[in-house]
Structure 1
């Protein structure tokens, strides 16, 4: 589904050239959930923006479904750290915003919007305005908005980082359920080892800048996963410890 071939990205400014990522080779299968984990400044967000077509690669190429990515595409959705909801639009109208932007009819997608809101625990909040919602609820609305056009690829740039620990874990559980139901291909950037272990099929660990792939760890823990007591508590702890050692090396 996604293929990065020898992808590098540099930025040039007054103080010279900075290499953000270097020589990235990565394949992401259809329906796979891949987390990208690394220290601040290692190029995680840069990598995501190149897959989204928001930044060109300096060298190498990015392909999605066999086509080279040169600009944003309708089949690739992106979710950022902040929900960026329009304050004057209701929850339902915020979810339907991409449909209007792409020239579709809201009525044709209204049932899908209600389905997504129900899936993420927001049934009954369709007419609320963003300021009436908690931070976690706003991010759920942003998730529904990203999924409304049924993208083949979902790119998520630390979407839960501004939330408290309990809300982050709750939303991680919601995202697990959404992914299991919809089988969307997801690339998820995070600083959090816990999020990576809870969510991913594989975790790509990047080195400090310039970001290079240090290790790719398979997470072979059955879903749904939890950080609390459960049948797979030992496996979750072992995987978290291995990622911690990789990041500290």
Structure 2
């Protein structure tokens, strides 16, 4: 579904050239949930913007559904770290914003909006304004807006990072449920190892800048997953420990 071949990204700034990503080769299968983890500045968000067509790679190629990515696509949706809801628009109007921008037929998408709001537990809040909602509820609205056009690919850039720990886990469980009901390929950027393990089919670990693909860790744990006591808690802990070890700096004695 998504393929990156020998992708590198170099930025030219006032302080010189910054190598953000180097020689990334990665394939994401249709309907797969992949999380990207790595230290700050390793190029996770840069990779996501390139897949979205918001940024062109310095070298290498990116394809979605076999087509080269040269600009934003209608079948690829992007969910940012902040909800970015328009404060003067109601919940329903914010969800329908992409429909207006893309000039899509309103009636079927209105039904779709109500279905999505029901899916995330916001039935009855359609006429509320963003300031009347909690942070977690605002992100649920943002998620509905990202899904309104039935995207084939959903790109999520640390969408839960500004929320408290309990709300983050609650939304992670909610996203698992939505993903099981909605056929969508997802790439999810996070700094949280626990979040990565809860959500992913595979976790892509990037090295420190320049970001290189260090390892891809499969997460073969039945869904739904939680961080609490359950039949698969030992496996969740095991995968989390492996990711922690991969992300830790190398000891000084191991540096050539």
Q: TM-score, normalised by structure 2?
A: 0.96
Runs ≥4 residues deviating over 6 A? none
Query: Does the 8 Å CA contact 1:41/1:208 hold for their aligned counterparts?
Result: yes
Q: 2:122, 2:172 → 1: CA distance?
A: 16
* Counterpart in the other structure of 1:194: 194
Q: 1:244, 1:208 → 2: CA distance?
A: 14
1:40 correspondence with 2:40:
yes
Q: In the TM superposition, what are the counterparts of 1:168-207 in structure 2 within 5 Å?
A: 168-207=168-207
Q: TM-score, normalised by structure 1?
A: 0.99
Q: In the TM superposition, what are the counterparts of 1:14-33 in structure 2 within 5 Å?
A: 14-33=14-33
* Counterpart in the other structure of 1:150: 150
* Counterpart in the other structure of 1:165: 165
* Counterpart in the other structure of 1:212: 212
1:114 correspondence with 2:114:
yes
What secondary structure is seen at the aligned counterpart in 1 of 2:168? helix
Query: Does the 8 Å CA contact 1:37/1:190 hold for their aligned counterparts?
Result: yes
Query: Does the 8 Å CA contact 2:152/2:183 hold for their aligned counterparts?
Result: no
Query: Does the 8 Å CA contact 1:7/1:57 hold for their aligned counterparts?
Result: yes
Deviation for aligned residue 1:107: 2.3
* Counterpart in the other structure of 1:6: 6
Q: 2:106, 2:91 → 1: CA distance?
A: 14
Residue-pair matches, total = 249
Q: 2:160, 2:28 → 1: CA distance?
A: 22
Deviation for aligned residue 1:14: 1.5
CA deviations on 1:179-238 (whole Å, 9 max, x unpaired) are 000121000000000010000000000000000000000000000000001110100000
CA RMSD of aligned residues (A): 0.6
Unaligned runs of 5+ in 1: none
* Counterpart in the other structure of 1:91: 91
